[in-house]
Amino acid sequence: MRVVFFGTPDFAVPSLLALIGEGFDVVAAVTQPDKPQGRSRSTLVAPPVKVAAQAEDVAVLQPARPTGAEFYRTIRDLAPEVGVVVAYGHILKPDLLAIPPRGMVNVHPSLLPELRGAAPVEWAILNGLEKTGVTIMQMGEGLDSGPILHQIPHRIPDDVTGGELSEHLAEMGAQALVEALQLLEANVLKPVPQKDANATYAPKLTREVARVSWNEPANAVARKILALDPRPGAWAELDGNEVKLFRAQLADVTGQPGEVLTTDGRLLIGAGGAAVAVQEVQPAGKPRMAAAEWVRGRGVAVGQRFT
């Protein structure tokens, strides 16, 4: 089956490679343009999907936006039977969705209709869910609201970070995608409409969402630190300076919210009803490091207060 693939970040790469490995004819990978980086913004860095596609001799398209008659003509000329979208980063217009005769399918890292939106992996941890998973859905005009084609559930470990969960769901999504396309090709898939009344949402992560509030229950604080590790990173202030916090565990001790309770090889900070042990930090302007290393460098002392 001829497939046109839309994706950009690392999360999308396992699905692209799985399609190629299973013998699907990937006629092109559509991804975002290379991004300038560095102080002078003179170095262009290719998105992960472009790097993976070129390594597999798959044609790459990088429109600034996937719209317009010329782009649509290019996709039509490729004659894909189905389109696959995995974390592409742009909304696809109805005219584009209608080009492949079997439509466009999307790999979404949640059990839809739960957690529609931009950050389902992080919000699954933030919300304290015990289970998440991946959904293969038929794309339409709504936000992650199309009919469900295939789902695989996954239990969320208590100590998993957002990055670790995202990586695992990317591999699961690749497996689910291949299974769904094989069933689609055999004409045995039966789309199941989502129940909109059961929908929940996972909005974009803002700087305010990432700020730690030490008055919240300690388990909620620990989940926030885990969910936003490695990006964008949960943060708080110490003496007016921003510090990002990583690798948190709940600790069964009590202290004032935000108060540094111990620094004996770990960083223990009071929160609502208990405390949180933080294993790694990133002070402003410095690389991520072990909390013990920061403590040895006198970055923090017992009795100081995070806000």
- Give domain status of residue 204, yes or no: no
Q: What are the DSSP E strand ranges found in the chain?
A: 2-7, 25-30, 35-37, 43-45, 60-61, 82-86, 104-108, 131-138, 148-155, 234-238, 241-251, 260-262, 267-271, 274-283, 289-290
**What are the structure tokens assigned to 224, written together?**
């926030």
Indicate whether 146 and 13 sit together in one domain.
Answer: yes
pLDDT digits (tens, 9 = 90+) for 136-169: 999 988 889 999 999 999 999 999 999 999 999 9
C-beta of residue 214 within 8 angstroms of C-beta of residue 306: yes
Question: Are the CB atoms for 124 and 156 separated by under 8 Å?
Answer: yes
The total of other beta-carbon atoms located within 10 Å of residue 130's CB is 8
- According to the model, what pLDDT value does residue 108 have? 98
Could you tell me which residues come within 8 angstroms of residue 23 by beta carbon, excluding any fewer than 6 positions away? Answer: none
247 inside domain: yes
User: pTM higher than 0.85, yes or no?
Assistant: yes
Which pLDDT score, from 0 to 100, does residue 42 have?
Answer: 78
Residues 175 and 57 in one domain: yes
Read off the CATH number of the domain in which 234 is found: 3.10.25.10
pLDDT at 54: 98
Residue 133: which CATH number? 3.40.50.170
Residue 298 has pLDDT above 90, yes or no: no
Domain that holds residue 263: 212-296
Is 146 in the same domain as 225?
no
CA-based nearest residue to 180, from 121, 124, 131, 137: 137
Please give the Cα distance from 112 to 145 (Å, whole number).
8
Asked if the model's pLDDT at residue 282 lies above 80, the reply is yes
Query: How many structural domains comprise the chain?
Result: 2
159 and 276 together in one domain = no
- With respect to residue 205, please indicate whether it lies within any of the assigned structural domains: no
Residue 68 lies in a domain: yes
pLDDT given at position 299: 85
3-state secondary structure of 107: strand
SS3 157: coil
Nearest to 115 by CA among 227, 273, 2: 227
Question: Quick one: 222 and 189 in the same domain?
Answer: no
With respect to residue 203, please indicate whether it lies within any of the assigned structural domains: no
| Claim to verify: residue 191 and residue 230 sit in the same structural domain | no
Confidence band for 219, pLDDT divided at 50, 70 and 90: very high
Structural domain contains residue 268: yes
- Cα-flanking dihedrals φ and ψ of residue 5, to 5°? -110, 130
Using the predicted structure, report yes or no on whether residue 22 has a pLDDT greater than 90.
yes
User: For 90-169, where are the E strands, in sequence order?
Assistant: 104-108, 131-138, 148-155
Which pLDDT value is given to residue 38? 77
Same domain, 109 and 184: yes
Residue 302 belongs to some domain of the structure:
no
Q: Is residue 95 part of a domain?
A: yes
User: What mean pLDDT is predicted for residues 51-71?
Assistant: 98
> What average pLDDT score do residues 91-105 get?
96
